[in-house]
């Protein structure tokens, strides 16, 4: 039996005219949404230079790893990938090897010593400069670009992975100093984009058929604090709340999201704005990291559990069905059993829709990495296993509320495991599967907002039947 993939009404964005045939490229992206957005822009640059997407990593003429160093295991991944490519390069000197992103920034020159086959090592602030850097490589140099760089508005058209949902950078970098975190040292100081530039990008996405945008920042709530301007009431002119109002009416965009939120800066005004503006989706990703006030202090997070709970209460007061996700770290240096239990209690109390968990991993140039009270590996493993079971149990319990409900789902992609199905997300960010063809013969396309009656509920996804 053959299955016909669903028709799609939306085409991928037109590619910039190919100037010359430079061969093929392959990008592998590790890490967070910021890296994914950077990779899309770097792919756009490569295509405008005349590269085309390779069919596989081992066939490509240019291989770029956009790396993450948030934990040691994330960092180590790239070295095993690089080993394979370095070996390939010994037989194929024309292969161009690039390491971009956060490991590149952290290691800089020393990456060249470790992997001498590399052509280019470039930090995240240099993503938009890929063409210039490759020209230097072409002239025979090995290039390291890790100096602080002011991120200029780029004229690059990103090669977006999704034809429906687009990432839009709002603020780069992070000025916080959480004692465990490597991000400020690899992503640099905060740089907010001008609201006009952000709106232009969103208008362009809308004109190309995109329906959803996600405004991105490591600390999105800090948006605008580096931009000049005070309102007549003496308030900062540029805040995330103002930005949301400013971009809300872009025609064609149906949904707006933002990530990641910091509990220290998450304001009531922001919550009210999300409740009042219809395109703002009722999903909030607000990492709490620990459910214990002493651990939070040692992490230098700048809020208490009580403040965190007040934010959640306020969100649920204004948007009762909102979904809340978060990140948490277990086995932070010195975390006692009792303190760890407070994190489990917080998870039970809030009833999160999802929590990304990790065991603490010491990172270079971070204060906590040098503390003497590191916990043994066995404690990390045991706590992580236990917390994951609690998270999954909670997520499933939260998901049962969807059973039988009709949810608005944005069709975002084709289910690769079952091409007669489309995948999408509810406004609350739940991954949902449904048939592209309804029982009355109607075909749904990517980009459609579809009403789906939820029939099956799993821990992290839903499936259902379309209803007209």
Sign of CA dihedral 200, 206, 208, 214: positive
Q: Look at residue 35 and give the partner it binds from ligand SF4, ligand F3S, ligand SAH, none, a contact being a CB closer than 5 to 8 Å depending on partner kind.
A: ligand F3S
220 in contact with ligand SAH (CB under 6 A): no
As a whole number of angstroms, the distance between CA 456 and CA 452 comes to 11
CB contact set of 150 (below 8 Å; sequence gap of 6+): 191
User: What is the DSSP code (8-state) at residue 59?
Assistant: T
- What is the footprint of ligand F3S within residues 17-36 (CB under 6 A)? 31-32, 34-35
H or E element that contains 421:
strand 421-426
The residue (of 72 and 87) whose beta carbon lies closer to ligand F3S is 72
Stretch that binds ligand SF4, among 171-179, 371-379, 411-419, 433-441 (CB under 6 A): 171-179
* Selected binder of ligand SF4 within 42, 178, 329, 359 (CB under 6 A): 178
149 in contact with ligand SAH (CB under 6 A): no
* Binding letters toward ligand F3S, positions 174-193, x by CB under 6 A: --------xx--xx------
184 in contact with ligand SAH (CB under 6 A): no
The residue (of 369 and 431) whose beta carbon lies closer to ligand SAH is 369
Q: Look at residue 69 and give the partner it binds from ligand SF4, ligand SAH, ligand F3S, none, a contact being a CB closer than 5 to 8 Å depending on partner kind.
A: ligand F3S
Instruction: Estimate the share of the chain in helix, then strand, then coil, as percent rounded to the nearest 5.
Output: 35, 20, 40
Gap between the terminal Cα atoms of the chain: 28
Token digits for 408? Answer: 């608005």
Residue 286 to residues 256, 312, 347, Cα–Cα distance (Å):
16, 9, 13
Stretch that binds ligand SAH, among 8-16, 338-346, 355-363, 457-465 (CB under 6 A): 355-363
68 in contact with ligand SF4 (CB under 6 A): no
360 in contact with ligand SAH (CB under 6 A): yes
CB 47 within 8 A of CB 16: yes
User: What is the DSSP code (8-state) at residue 14?
Assistant: P
Q: What is the DSSP string of 226-293?
A: TS--B-TTSSBS--HHHHHHHHTT-TT--EEEEE---TTT--HHHHHHHHHSTTB-SEEE---B-S-H
User: Which chain residues interact with ligand F3S by CB under 6 A?
Assistant: 31-32, 34-35, 68-70, 101-102, 182-183, 186-187
User: Which chain residues interact with ligand SF4 by CB under 6 A?
Assistant: 174, 176, 178, 181, 183-184, 218-219, 262
User: Which chain residues interact with ligand SAH by CB under 6 A?
Assistant: 70-71, 180-181, 183, 218-219, 260, 262, 287, 289, 327, 329, 358, 360-361, 363
């Amino acid at each position: 039996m053959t299955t016909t993939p669903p028709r799609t009404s939306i085409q991928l964005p037109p590619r910039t005219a190919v100037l010359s045939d430079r061969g093929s490229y392959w990008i592998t992206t590790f890490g967070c949404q910021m890296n994914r957005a950077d990779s899309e822009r770097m792919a756009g640059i490569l295509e405008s230079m005349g590269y085309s997407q390779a069919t596989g990593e081992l066939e490509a003429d240019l291989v770029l790893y956009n790396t993450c160093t948030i934990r040691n295991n994330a960092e180590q991944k790239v070295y095993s990938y690089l080993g394979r490519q370095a070996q390939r390069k010994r037989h194929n000197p024309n292969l161009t090897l690039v390491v971009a992103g956060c490991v590149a920034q952290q290691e800089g020159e020393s990456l060249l010593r470790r992997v001498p086959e590399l052509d280019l090592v470039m930090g995240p602030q240099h993503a938009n400069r890929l063409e210039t850097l490759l020209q230097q490589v072409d002239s025979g140099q090995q290039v390291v670009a890790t100096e602080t760089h002011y991120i200029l508005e780029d004229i690059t058209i990103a090669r977006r992975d999704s034809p429906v949902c687009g990432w839009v950078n709002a603020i780069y970098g992070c000025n916080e100093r959480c004692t465990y975190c490597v991000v400020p040292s690899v992503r640099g100081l905060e740089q907010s984009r001008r609201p006009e530039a952000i709106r232009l990008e969103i208008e362009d996405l809308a004109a190309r058929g995109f329906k959803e945008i996600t405004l991105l920042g490591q600390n999105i709530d800090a948006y605008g604090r580096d931009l000049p301007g005070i309102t007549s009431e003496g308030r900062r002119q540029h805040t995330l709340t103002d930005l949301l109002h400013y971009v809300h009416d872009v025609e064609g965009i149906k949904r707006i999201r933002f990530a990641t939120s910091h509990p220290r800066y998450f304001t009531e005004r922001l919550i009210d704005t999300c409740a009042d503006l219809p395109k703002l989706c009722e999903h909030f990703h607000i990492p709490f990291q620990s459910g214990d006030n002493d651990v939070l202090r040692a992490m230098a997070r700048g809020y208490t559990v009580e403040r965190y709970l007040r934010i959640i209460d306020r969100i649920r007061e204004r948007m009762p069905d909102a979904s809340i996700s978060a990140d948490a770290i277990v086995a932070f240096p010195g975390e006692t059993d009792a303190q760890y239990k407070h994190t489990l209690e917080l998870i039970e109390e809030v009833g999160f829709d999802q929590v990304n968990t990790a065991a603490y991993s010491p990172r270079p140039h971070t204060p906590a990495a040098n503390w003497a009270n590191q916990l043994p590996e066995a404690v990390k493993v045991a706590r992580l296993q236990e917390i994951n079971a609690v998270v999954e149990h909670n997520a499933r319990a939260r998901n049962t509320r969807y059973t039988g409900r009709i949810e608005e789902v944005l069709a975002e992609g084709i289910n690769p495991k079952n091409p007669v199905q489309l995948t999408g997300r509810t406004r609350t960010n739940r991954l949902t599967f449904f048939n592209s063809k309804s029982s009355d013969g109607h075909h749904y396309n990517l980009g459609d907002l579809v009403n789906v009656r939820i029939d099956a509920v799993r821990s992290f996804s839903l499936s259902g039947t379309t209803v007209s």
